[in-house]
A and B are shown apart, each in its own frame.
Chain A
């Protein structure tokens, strides 16, 4: 089955630093990748949608200059949380799909900003 690898699985960083999260589709070409954030006991919140080779589309209220998304190839997308603050602490999940196929999720990255 389709596998999406997300790295790292958890990260602790200091306030003001930047953190990069990688999302890779291992056995299929991901024309579209999605980045979600989930706070405890809340539902998935879509942050942005990225298509290979083009700029990401951000959901309303998500700062594009703070959450930098790069989808440079059909198998790799990265999310960089810049100048992280404690309120950015959350569970970040990527997902990937080929056109009109089911979404497959990475295992998520638990970010803690101290």
Chain B
């Protein structure tokens, strides 16, 4: 069974620190990878997508992909209290999108 694993947290970091969120997946054929942010009571919103090995940066967010290790991560630099949310990792293969259970991040002022 294809699985996407995330540490449920909660992960707590002080304001201004780097938050590191990790995700592993079981299906080696996975082709594309996404990070979503979900605030409490709201639906998920796409924040990053990554398709090839290495790093992809967008503002304070950096996604890292290592297909050999079947590992994808999200780094949030200069964390802000407004970054407090649940972060969902999603992995896609052949139009089959699988989500992790999410990691709850709390950024403390």
Show the binding face of A for B, using Cβ within 8 Å.
Answer: 6, 32, 34, 43-44, 46, 91, 93, 97, 99-100, 102-108
Q: With an 8 A cutoff between CB atoms, is B61 at the interface?
A: no
9-residue interface stretch from B21-29, B66-74, B75-83, B93-101: B93-101
B32 at the interface (CB under 8 A from A): yes
Among A97, A102, A105, the one with the most B-chain Cβ atoms within 10 Å of its Cβ is: A102
Contacts of A108 in B (CB 8 A): 42-43
* Chain A residues with CB under 8 A of B88: 43-44
Residues of B within 8 A of A (CB): 31-32, 34, 36, 41-46, 49, 88, 90, 92, 94-95, 97, 99-102
Shortest CB-to-CB span from A5 to chain B, Å, is 12
Instruction: With A32-B95, A99-B95, A100-B32 as known contacts, state yes or no: A105 contacts B43, CB within 8 Å.
Output: yes
